[in-house]
A and B are shown apart, each in its own frame.
Chain A
Amino acid sequence: MEIIADFHLHSKYARATSKQSTLENIYKWCKIKGINVVGTGDFTHPLWFEEINSKLEPAEHGLYKLKNIYSKEIEEKLPVSVKNNSVRFILTTEISNIYSKYSKTRRMHNLIIFPDIDSVSKFNLKLSKIGNLKSDGRPILGLDSKILLKIVKETNNKALLIPAHIWTPWFSMFGSKSGFDTINEAFEELTPEICAIETGLSSDPFMNWRLSALDKIAIISNSDSHSVQKLGREANIFDCGLSYDDLLSAIKTNDQRLVGTIEFFPQEGMYHLDGHRKCSVRLTPAQTKSYNNICPKCHKDLVIGVLNRVDQLADRPENFVPKSHKSVEFLIPLLEILSEIYNVKNSVKVIADYEFLYTKFGSELSILKNLSISELEKCGHTKLAHAIEKMRKREVFIEPGYDGVYGVVRVFSPGESTATAGQLSLKL
C-alpha cells in the first residue's frame, strides 16, 4: 500500500513552535494533508512523552494511533473526503549535538526513530543524565553524534539515527559552519549504521545524487515543521506494509518499497544560496568564489549556503542524474498557491477556499499530486488547475533563499499573474 510519511516535526514543547502543535491537531492536519505515518517529534521531552503515553495506543506493530476518545471528536468535524484517511504515529525526536571533535566545534542535528515506548523510556532515562531534556523539545547535548548513535543502538537495535537536514550551515552533518566532510568522519566505525540522511528544505535529491558517497544511502525528506499547517511540505512515499518493521526495512535496504520523496523547491529553503542577510547580499556559488568567500559589503565571511556546500563536497557534475533513481515530486503548499492567486496571505478567503477544496477533492497532497487537471478545470477552477499544472512541470519562478531568508517561489511571473487575474479568477 502507498504510505506517505513525515518523520520530523516539533511539538508545542519545542522552541519557536506554535502552541497549536498538539497530538490532536497533528492528527487532524495529517488527515487533511493526507499523511499516513507521522512522527510524534520531541519524545525526549518529559511532558510531551507523558502526552504520547496517555493519548496514543499501540496500533500496527511499532506504530501508534490516537485513542478513540480523542480521535472521535476530531473526525466528527472533518468532511467525509478526508475523515477516513488513516493516520499512524511513529516515535521520533530530534537532538542537537554540540561538541568538539578533531579539534573543531561541531553542531549537528540528528533525527531519531524508535519502535516502542519501552525503549523510548530507557533512552530518555539515559539522556536525562547527559543533559537537560526539560526545557526544549529538541534537547541540546554536549555529546558526540557517534556516541549518541551508540546509545540509540544499545537501547534498541531496531531504532534509527538519521542525520537531519544534512546541508544547513549551522547545525548539520555537512554544514559549512558546523559539520564534517564525510559521514565517516562523524561516525567512524559506526558509519554502516547510518542508512539514511535527511535532505532538509534547502536541498533536494538531485543535489544529493552528486555525491557518490551517498549512493547506497536512503535519501529521505521531512517537513521539520514547527506548526501543523506545514506538515508534509516534504515527505516520503513508501509502498509497503503498514508497520515499523516494513518501513525500517524499506529505509535500510533502500529498495523499491521506498518509492521516493515529496520535495520543497530547494531554492525556497532559507540556506540555498550564499550571502548575508544583514547586508542584503545574495550570491550564487560562482559569485561567492569570485569574492573569495568575503562579503562585498561588510567584508566579513559569507554564510555559505547549501548549493555551494554541495558543490564543495560533490564528486559528480551539476545536473547529474543516476540511471535509476527514486521519484521526486516538487510541490508548493496549496495555501501558498491560493495566496498567490489571490495575492493575499492567509486571508479568510484563502482559508475558506482551502477548506472547500479538500472537502470536495480529498487531502491536500492528493490534490497537488494526483488530481487530474481536467477535473479541476471542469469544476471551474481554471486558474488553480493552471497553477498546479505548472508546478508539476516545474515551470515556476524562484527567488532563492540565503542566510536565514526563505526563498520565494511563484507559479506565475509577476506580469502573468496581474494580466490574467481578472479573467480567470477562481470561482468557488
Chain B
Amino acid sequence: MTDQILPNKKQLEILKHIYGPQIIIAGPGTGKTATLILKINKLVNELKIPHQNILALTFTNKAVNEINQRLGLPDFGYTFHSFCSYILKTKNISYKIIPDHQRKKIINVISSQFGLRFQEVEVGISRYKNLADYKIDKKIILEYEKILQKEGFWDFDDLLIKTYFLLKNDDAVRLQKLKKYKFIFIDEFQDTSKIQYELIKLFVGGSRNICVIGDPNQSIYSFRGADSAIFDQFKNDFPVCKIFYLNENYRNNSKIIEIINQIFPKQSITGIKNDFYDVALVNTLNQNTQAQWIIDFINSKIGGVNLQNASSTSEKLDNNIRFSDFAVIYRNHEHAVTVKKKLFNLGAPYQVIGEDSLFFREETKIIYKIIKYLLDNNYEITTDEINLSKQINLDKKFSETIPSLINLLLSNSKNKDEEYLVDFGLLINEFDHYENSYQKFIEYYDFMLANDSYDEKSDKINLLTMHSAKGLEFNYVFLCFFNNGFIPSKFETDEDKRLFYVSVSRAKKGLFLISPKTYKKRDLYASNYKQFFNLPDVRYIEDENMAREQKRINKQKLKKSQIKLF
C-alpha cells in the first residue's frame, strides 16, 4: 500500500472534525484508506467509542480485510453484502443466493428469447434493481424475477433490496434496536448505488455522523447503477456537510501526476515523489509485437529469466524488482490472449486478477461435485449430475476415472471449454499417488476454493482489466491497445475517461501505453487520449520489432498467394 507514516496537514484537519456529515474527496494515491483508519482509530482509542457503535462499509472483502487488519479488529468492517446478510441473520430470515453460473444461464435464456445481447440484459436488470435508469423492457425484468422466484433464489441485488424494504417497513421500535451505530463510514463512495445509499441512510441517527470517502473521477461501475452523482445527492440530503479534499499523492512519481492532472484539469493533485520515472508511448505493429515488447521490457528490468537474455540486458536492470511489480492492463480479457500465451511459453509466473480461477469454474466444479457425491450420498447434487455419476466407478484408479469423466463432460455439451478441463485434468493427475486419492482430491479442492483467488502477496506478473485495476498499485504498468475504439471506446464517454484515469494512476515508476497498428486484420488509430501526454520527458518509442514482424507477415502472405497460384 501507499507508504505514508504520519498524518499530513489535510489529514490532521480532517481528524479535528469528528461530528456531523462529511465528504472526503480523495484523489488517487492520496491515502484514502489511511485517512479512514486514522479517523476510526481516533474514535476507538481516544474518544473511547465502542467499535460496535461504528459502521464501516467498503466494497471488496479485500478492502474489509485490510481495514480490519490495520485496526486490529478482526470482525469490524462490512461489505454491503455482508452487512445485509448480517441484518437478515439478526431477523432470522433465511434465503439462498443463486450460484453465478445459474444466474447467467437464466439471463442467457431470456436474452435469446427477447433477441437481446446477454450484457444488455444483465446490466439492465442490475440497474433496475439498484434504482438506476434502465434501458430494457420491464417485461424482461419481470420474466427474470419470475424464474428466480420459481427456483427459490435471490440474487445479490435482492439481498440489498429485501433488506432495504424490510427495514424501511419495520416499525420504529424494532428499527431503533438496530440503530446502534453512532458513526458511519462509507469507503469508495463513488461506487455506491442508490439503493445501497438509501439503505445506509436508514441507520443515520440524529447526530448525523456520516462520513463518505471517495473520488468522483474514479467512478467506473455505472453498469452496476453507481455513478458520481451520488455525491450531489449526499450534499442535498446533508446540506450542512463539510467537504475536504485530499490531494497529496504518495504513490505516483510526479510525471505521472502531471498526466493525471491533465485528464481532469479541475482537480490538482500534488506529488511528493520525485524519484526515477518513465512514461512512454509505444508504437507497435500488432498484438504479437505488443506482447513481445512487454516481455522484452520485463526481461530487461528483471535481468532476464534465462541465460540467453540475462547477459545482453545488463544496463537497463532495475536492481530491486520482482515479478509482482509488473501489471499488464487491458480493456477486455480477450485483448490479453497473446500476452498470456507468450508469458506461458517464457515460463514466467503470472496471475490474472479478476478472472475465474480454474477451481471456480462450472466445468471443474461438476467433477468435484460428482466425486463428493459418490463418496457421500448425502451430498446434494442435481439430477443431471446424478445421472453422470452413474457412469463413474470409484473403484477404479483416480487417473482412469478423471479422464473418462472429463471426456463424458466434453461430449455432453458443446459450450464446455475444453482447455480448462484438460488443464484441470493435468493438475489433479497427481492424486493417483495417494492411497485415498478421491478423498484427498476433495480436501484439496475445498482448500483451493477457499484460497485460489488473486493473492496480492504472491510474486507473479499481474494481468488485469481496467475495471479490476482500482485500489491496486504497481511499479510498472503496461496499458494495451491504447487506440481509439479500445481506450477510449468508440462512444468516448466520461466513464471511458475515468476508467483511463484509474488505470494510469496505478503506475508508480513506469507507465507504457502501447498502440498497435492493427488488430485482427483491422487498422487501428492512435488514441484521442494522446492529448494528455503533450509534456516534456514523455518518450515516444517506435518498436524495433515492427520491421521484422512485417517481413514475416509478408512472407506468409506471399506463400499463401503462391499456393493459390499453383
Contact = CB atoms under 8 A, between A and B. Distances in A.
Contacts, number: 97
A100 B325 CA distance: 10
A425 B458 CA distance: 62
Contact of B349 (A15, A16, A132, A300): A132
A403 interface: yes
Contact of B347 (A103, A118, A121, A136): A136
A96 interface: yes
Q: Top 9 nearest A-B pairs by Cβ distance?
A: A142-B459, A131-B349, A136-B347, A142-B323, A100-B322, A170-B310, A121-B430, A135-B347, A121-B433
A143 interface: yes
Contacts of A129: 452
A100 B321 contact: yes
Contacts of A171: 307, 310
Given A105-B320, A107-B310, A404-B307, 4 more contacts: A100-B322, A105-B303, A105-B318, A300-B314
Given A105-B320, A132-B344, A136-B347, A98 B314 contact: no
Contacts of B317: 105
B337 to A, nearest CB: 16
Interface residues of B, number: 38
A46 B426 contact: yes
Interface of A: 15-16, 46, 49-50, 53, 96, 98-100, 103-105, 107, 117-118, 121, 124-125, 128-132, 134-136, 139-143, 170-171, 177-178, 277, 300-301, 303, 403-404
A140 B310 contact: no
Contacts of A96: 305-306
A16 B307 CA distance: 11
B324 interface: yes
Contacts of B304: 170
A301 B347 CA distance: 28
B91 to A, nearest CB: 40
A96 B319 CA distance: 18
B311 A277 contact: yes
A372 to B, nearest CB: 41
12 contacts: A15-B306, A96-B305, A98-B305, A98-B322, A99-B322, A105-B302, A121-B430, A135-B345, A143-B459, A170-B307, A300-B314, A303-B311
Contact of A403 (B303, B311, B322): B311
B346 interface: yes
A277 B307 CA distance: 14
A315 to B, nearest CB: 26
A140 B347 CA distance: 6
Nearest to B307: A170
Contacts of B306: 15, 96, 140
Given A132-B348, A177-B314, A403-B311, A105 B305 contact: no
Interface string B425-459: 01101110110000000001000000010000011
Interface string B224-241: 000000000000000000
B322 A105 contact: yes
Contact of B433 (A16, A118, A135): A118
B46 interface: no
Contacts of A50: 429
A141 B434 CA distance: 26
B275 interface: no
A141 B350 CA distance: 10
Interface string B338-356: 0000001111111000000
A142 B324 contact: yes
B51 interface: no
B384 interface: no
Nearest to B348: A140
Contacts of B345: 135
A128 B323 CA distance: 16
B369 interface: no
B322 A142 contact: yes
B335 interface: no
B460 interface: yes
B315 interface: yes
A132 B423 CA distance: 12
A150 to B, nearest CB: 15
Contacts of B458: 130, 142
Contact of A99 (B314, B346, B348, B459): B459
Contacts of B324: 142
B311 A140 contact: no
B443 to A, nearest CB: 12
A178 B306 CA distance: 12
Contacts of A132: 344, 347-350
Contacts of A107: 303, 310
B504 to A, nearest CB: 25
B247 to A, nearest CB: 29
Contacts of B307: 170-171, 404
Given A98-B302, A403-B311, A46 B429 contact: yes
A140 B310 CA distance: 14
A277 B321 CA distance: 26
Contacts of B427: 128
A151 to B, nearest CB: 13
A418 B349 CA distance: 53
A130 B314 CA distance: 27
A15 to B, nearest CB: 6
A117 B324 CA distance: 32
A400 B350 CA distance: 39
A148 to B, nearest CB: 12
A139 B315 CA distance: 25
A178 B346 contact: no
A141 B322 contact: no
B348 A178 contact: no
Given A105-B321, A121-B430, A177-B303, A135 B314 contact: no
Nearest to B343: A132
Contacts of B344: 132, 134-135
Contacts of B348: 132, 140
A303 B315 CA distance: 11
B446 to A, nearest CB: 14
B316 to A, nearest CB: 12
**Most chain B CB within a 10 A radius of its CB, from A98, A99, A301:** A98
A57 to B, nearest CB: 14
A130 B349 contact: yes
**Most chain A CB within a 10 A radius of its CB, from B302, B310, B344, B347:** B347
A16 B317 CA distance: 24
**Most chain B CB within a 10 A radius of its CB, from A100, A134, A143, A403:** A100
Interface in B273-328: 302-308, 310-311, 314-315, 317-324
A301 B433 contact: no
Nearest to B460: A142
A325 to B, nearest CB: 31
A49 B415 CA distance: 31
Nearest to A118: B433
Nearest to A123: B430
A121 B347 CA distance: 20
Nearest to B306: A15
Contact of A124 (B303, B347, B430): B430
Given A124-B430, A140-B349, A103 B459 contact: no
A105 B459 CA distance: 12
Contacts of A303: 311, 314
A301 B311 CA distance: 11
Given A104-B320, A105-B302, A140-B305, A301 B426 contact: no
B320 A103 contact: yes
Contacts of A403: 311
A104 B320 CA distance: 4
A140 B349 CA distance: 7
B466 to A, nearest CB: 24
A121 B350 CA distance: 22
A131 B347 CA distance: 8
Contacts of A135: 344-347
Given A100-B322, A105-B303, A170 B430 contact: no
B452 A125 contact: no
